[in-house]
Structure 1
Amino acid sequence: MRILVTGGCGFIGSALVLHLVNDLGHDVCTLDAMTYAANPVSLAPLADNPRHRLVEADICDRAAVQKAFADFKPQAVMHLAAESHVDRSITDPGAFVRTNVIGTQTMLDGARGYYEALPEADKKSFRFLHVSTDEVYGSLPPDAFFTEESRYDPRSPYSASKAASDHLARAWHETYGLPVLVTNCSNNYGPRHFPEKLIPLMILNALEGKKLPVYGDGLNERDWIHVEDHAKGLVAVLERGRIGETYLLGGRAVRNNLAVVKALCAAFDRLRPQNAPHEQLISFVADRPGHDRRYAIDCTKAEAELGWRPQKTFEQALEETVAWYLANEGWWRPIREGRYKGERLGLNG
């Protein structure tokens, strides 16, 4: 297949593009605005691969989007490009509305114009997969889980902008007949994760002997999915999902933030024991505004309909993630000390 992927130089996007090209042999066009969270080094393994092309363009740029469709002639779109960090959305909500709402509308419009001009035979196989987050559903009570029927209740500018983009994607399906699929995922972790999010931030702080700051009491709960499991789930939805349907993709690994940080410390004690015990670096800081207490996904629908299920065991894959950062300083060091120096990085995903 020829697949147009937006946001392919980001964390989840790069894992997806590598899987599509290296593992599945698809032709991929990556459309990315190369904002602060994008890292072209993540796609360096594809530098000489004729199955991949990288186009630097903003998804809000209507002409650039239309050109990407016209030049590449995709058989599917996987739309991941988004502003995604809650702390940043609190300080600069306009950027999130622009990219997540206006950008999604621009992509949907571009896909609609392209789709409507396709021959009937090609229309039958075309898909537009919109990738979103479980944060659109708000905060859960203890022991509860999100399902595809959960009510939307976003609490931050980030989750509100993603909720709006979800509604737009479904509206373009219902109104214009665009063959749309929607996914909502839990927190991702794994290699090549931009170090403003909880896990990579704690890994790099521990590596440098710095404090490991945890919001509030540290008991906010999240379901964690390894980025490679997520990438495989997205492909399963694209290939086998029912048009117009939503699928929740989770890792069946609910942990509170403090437990995650302690697990990271235990991994560091095994892999880099000279500074053990690393738990002595844990500190608690004031909670952020509107910090949702619990997210957890019931991914039964995706498992039953698509034959997909998460394969990674959280603690083992978390230690593998720590090992990756220890072995790949060349990836994270320019980010840590370069153009992002002095920024207040986020804490708890």
Structure 2
Amino acid sequence: MKRILVTGGCGFIGANFVRWELETYPELEVTNLDALTYAGNPDNLAGLNGESRYRFVKGDVADRSLVMGLVAEGFDAIVHFAAESHVDRSIDDATPFLRTNIQGTQCLLDAARAAGTPRFVQVSTDEVYGTLLPDDPPFFESTPLAPNSPYAASKAGADLLVRAAYHTHGLETIITRCSNNYGPYQFPEKLIPLFVTNALADIPLPVYGDGRQVRDWIHVSDHCRGVDAALRQGRAGEVYNFGGRSERFNIDVTRAVLTLTGKPETLIRHVTDRLGHDRRYAVDCSKAESELGWQALTSFETGLAATVDWYRTHTPWVNRIRSGAYRS
């Protein structure tokens, strides 16, 4: 594999993936297509502008003319991260989620089919499966889709279009679904970076409801290795789950952040719960472990401590986001 197109490569997971691919494969060329919406931060890829194997293209995945022309240049694979992904924003207005996550995905699939792109990886989320009761087994790849938020519904719709492209047109597609990511370069509206940056600034940490929602946490580096394994070794038409086997109550994650930042629990503020808030997510990743030889390597305790240290030592990055300067 010599040339890949990554969409959404200026976002949190996409940027980590771009860096990982370039560092791991010395001969690989990466083109990054990103519209630079509010969560697309060029600072996430600082230092790559002089890298001859990296190219940035500003553009919207739903811009059919642009996407068709770009994909026609010829790539060995498309790895599709680009998405609107914040649940609260989808509750306020689902329209951008439909455009990017559904229309954008179909646009890329059409372009890949027209260009004969050998492989298409759709990076999705465990939220398409819905919610679990406390004693339910984790989600399997065969678990029926039952999304409960507009964001999750838009990702489920995109996944079904990717599945259809494989079964109808024979496009070699793979879908990956992952549990909650954390790590460097995550936009500080998601739980861990929001709470870390708030705690460091002595700003209250808003915990939804009773904080007893359960999430399975995976470090972004483990997720990136999983996507790469699916890209290079996955079977066409298949779905692969990636998780950290680290289920935690949100309130316990909050307390762990406060301990690592040396801040008091008096900073915790319980706020009105999110509409339709799923109670528990957890994925079974044994298929990825057995078929791809993948496993999560970073424990939650180690990964969270490293993440807190990253945000503590990257205050200029945080300040540029808080001020909006990163968009200039």
1:250 partnered with 2:243: yes
1:62 partnered with 2:64: yes
Cα deviations by residue, 1:49-90 (Å, 9 ceiling, x for unpaired): 10100000100001110121123x210110010000000000
Cα deviations by residue, 1:181-209 (Å, 9 ceiling, x for unpaired): 00010010000000100001001110111
1:301 corresponding residue in structure 2:
287
1:346 corresponding residue in structure 2:
none
Cα separation, 2, equivalents of 1:225 and 1:130: 18
TM-score between both structures, scaled by the size of structure 1: 0.91
Percent identical among aligned pairs is: 52
1:165 partnered with 2:158: yes
Cα separation, 2, equivalents of 1:301 and 1:70: 33
Give the AA of the match of 1:86: V
1:22 corresponding residue in structure 2:
23
Q: Which moved more, 1:76-85 or 1:41-50?
A: 41-50
Cα deviations by residue, 1:89-142 (Å, 9 ceiling, x for unpaired): 000101101110000000100101001xxxxxxx7xx21000100000000011
Cα separation, 2, equivalents of 1:253 and 1:88: 26
SS class of match (2:56): strand
2:142 corresponding residue in structure 1:
149
Task: Kindly report structure 1 stretches of 4+ aligned residues shifted beyond 6 Å.
Answer: none
Asked if the contact 2:42/2:326 (under 8 Å) is kept, the reply is: no
Give the AA of the match of 1:135: E
Give the AA of the match of 2:303: A
1:282 corresponding residue in structure 2:
268
1:48 partnered with 2:50: yes
Give the AA of the match of 1:170: R
Q: How many residues align?
A: 324
Cα deviations by residue, 1:269-289 (Å, 9 ceiling, x for unpaired): 2xxxxxx4x222111011010
1:79 partnered with 2:80: yes
| Residue 340 of structure 1, CA deviation | 9.6
- Relative distance call for 1:153 and 1:112 in structure 2 (3 A) is same
TM-score between both structures, scaled by the size of structure 2: 0.97
1:182-261 matched pairs, under 5 angstroms: 182-261=175-254
Cα separation, 1, equivalents of 2:318 and 2:201: 13
1:38 corresponding residue in structure 2:
40
2:92 corresponding residue in structure 1:
91
Cα separation, 1, equivalents of 2:146 and 2:246: 23
1:118 corresponding residue in structure 2:
none
Cα deviations by residue, 1:154-184 (Å, 9 ceiling, x for unpaired): 0010000000000000001100110000001
1:310 partnered with 2:296: yes
Cα deviations by residue, 1:206-255 (Å, 9 ceiling, x for unpaired): 01111111000000000111111100000000111011000001111111
Q: Which moved more, 1:215-224 or 1:62-71?
A: 62-71
1:134 corresponding residue in structure 2:
126
| Residue 45 of structure 1, CA deviation | 2.4
Cα separation, 2, equivalents of 1:191 and 1:240: 26
| Residue 339 of structure 1, CA deviation | 6.0
| Residue 13 of structure 1, CA deviation | 0.1
SS class of match (1:45): coil
SS class of match (2:177): strand
